[in-house]
Amino acid sequence: MNFRKLAYTRPWRVFITGFFKENAVCYQVLGLCSTLAVSNKMENAVAMGASVVFVMLVSSAVISLLRRVIPVQYRIITYMIVTSTFVIIIDHFLKANFPTISGQLGPYVGLIITNCIVMGRQEAFAIKNGVGLSILDSLGAALSYSYVLVGIAAVREFLGFGSLLGVKVTPPHFENWVVISMAQGAWFVMAIFVWGFRRIAKLKPLEQE
Amino acid sequence: MAKMKLGRKLLEMLFIVGLGLVSVAMLLAAQSYAAPAVRRFQMLRLRTSILGAAGVATAPAEVNGIFEARVTEARGNGATYYRVDSLVVYEFKGRGLWGPVEGVITLDSGLTRIRSVRVLVQEETPGLGDRIKDPAYLVTYQNKTALEPLVLAMRHQAVEANEVDAISGATLSSEALLVIVGDAVAQLRQAMGK
């Protein structure tokens, strides 16, 4: 298998574009509400990221499978029905099998229904492309959302709670920077994160009309 | 022509209705799969927290046995409360800032002092109001009076027997819990006829 050739194949490009260059949060500027809300602790961010990956993979696959029969006027409500079905199923699954984790996540799992990245990728990609490509596309987008979420959460948990993944890492006299763990602090950290990411990915500012 | 359009519309509506039915069926299946496990877990959690609230340490496997041996259930005025040794445990439900708050409260048998408050279910703001479930915060209710209404200590640490701490950045959630605890004590008093 020639790995250099792999970089020029369509599936790889579909995946890597969503994963890096067209990052869901930093480039498409989608899913900001949950990025602000759930990025206060890494544990929450990881669980949220994993749930979003699952929901996006399954619902994009279903939308892509049904793409020839979904009536154009009703496609948005179709996305909603499909997405919320899988979100509620994963919620039940967690409640039955991992009651403690489910208790910690609380309302977060249900919030995936309102995550615009899910619907964004369905409307932009899954409705027009085959199942395999749609899965790769949503995998890239969901993972890009997840690593931004976990990245922001790492900074916020460190500064706001003095811990990482619930483990205390700061010296005892470290004063917790409470504002960073609140929604207002999330804006600062996210803005700096987005700026840094766009620098690294060499994204240009949008042209002004 | 008009007929074809109507037929198409009907098909499209059928598609949505069909999709909805499939979705409902999947959700019902998921719920009936999860329900027994969820009920078992809730019952175990309630029993664990009643025993824990009364200061009885248990291993998860022994909870049901110890509960049946040491706890007596009593009813009064439509409410159920539990007697463990010389303590009274009551399960409370109320409205928080964003959603339901549920938990258990322990008092001495004369209903004069709160021994402990535990919050099991809450939907308060993550990272702020959700601290009402933290044992580190709930310590503030320990040994507070149950004879007069409690108040929030807003700009200082709670010291008096009728004061509890507020959570900075989540005053409304702290207030909501305060009201819920007050209601629980009143309900329990009615149930026990005191």
pLDDT tier for residue A207 given thresholds of 50, 70 and 90: low
Percent of chain A whose predicted confidence (pLDDT) is above 90:
32
Per-10-residue mean pLDDT for chain B, 194 residues long?
76 91 95 91 85 80 85 85 89 90 91 91 85 91 90 84 88 93 92 83
Query: Helix, strand, coil shares of chain B as percentages rounded to 5?
Result: 50, 25, 25
Residue A209 has pLDDT above 60, yes or no: no
pLDDT at B2: 61
> Shortest CA distance to A31 belongs to which of A55, A67, A6?
A55
Note the pLDDT of residue A41.
84
The predicted structure's pLDDT at residue A56: 93
Q: Is residue B172 part of a domain?
A: yes
Confidence grade of residue A148 (pLDDT, cut at 50, 70, 90): very high
User: Cα–Cα distance between B101 and B124 in angstroms, integer?
Assistant: 9
B interface toward A at CB cutoff 8 Å?
Answer: 11-12, 15-16, 19-20, 23, 26-27, 30-31, 33-34, 37-38, 41, 45, 99, 122-123, 126-128, 130, 168-169
Q: List pLDDT tens digits, range B146-170.
A: 888 888 888 788 888 888 999 988 9
Q: Which residues of B touch A92 (CB under 8 A)?
A: 30-31, 33-34
Threshold 0.80, pTM exceeds: no
Task: Please tell me the distance from the alpha carbon of residue A105 to that of residue B138, in angstroms, as a whole number.
Answer: 20
Residue B18 inside a domain? The answer is no
Condensed to tens digits (0 to 9), the pLDDT of residues A88-146 reads 998 888 888 888 777 766 677 888 888 888 988 999 999 999 999 999 999 999 999 99
Interchain pair B37, A96: CB under 8 A: yes
Q: Is the pLDDT of residue A77 over 70?
A: yes
> Are B30 and A88 in contact (CB < 8 Å)?
yes
Rounded Cα distance, A26 and A37, in Å: 16
Tell me the average pLDDT of chain A. Answer: 86
The rounded distance, in Å, linking the Cα atoms of B119 and B100 is 11
**pLDDT range class, residue A168, cuts 50, 70, 90:** confident
Question: Cβ separation of B30 and A99 shorter than 8 Å?
Answer: no
How many domains does chain B divide into?
1
In a domain, B20, yes or no: no
> Is B44 part of any domain?
no
What gap in Å lies between CA A4 and CA A197, rounded to an integer?
Answer: 25
User: What is the predicted ipTM?
Assistant: 0.74
Separation in Å, CA of B23 to nearest CA in chain A:
6
Residue A166 touches chain B, beta carbons under 8 Å: no
Which residues, in sequence order, are bridge partners of residue B90? B81, B105
8 Å CB contact between B74 and B80: yes
Range of the domain at B64: 53-192
Q: How confident is the model at residue A206 (pLDDT cuts 50, 70, 90)?
A: low
Q: Where are the domains of chain A?
A: 12-199
Q: Could B169 and A178 be called an inter-chain contact, meaning their C-beta atoms sit closer than 8 Å? A: yes
Among A92, A107, A160, whose Cβ lies nearest the Cβ of B34? Answer: A92
Does B37 reside within a domain?
Answer: no
Count of A–B CB contacts within 8 Å? 68
For A8-40, the pLDDT digits (tens) are 888 888 888 888 888 888 888 888 888 888 888
**Is the pLDDT reported for residue A185 higher than 60?**
yes
Tell me the average pLDDT across A72-82: 90
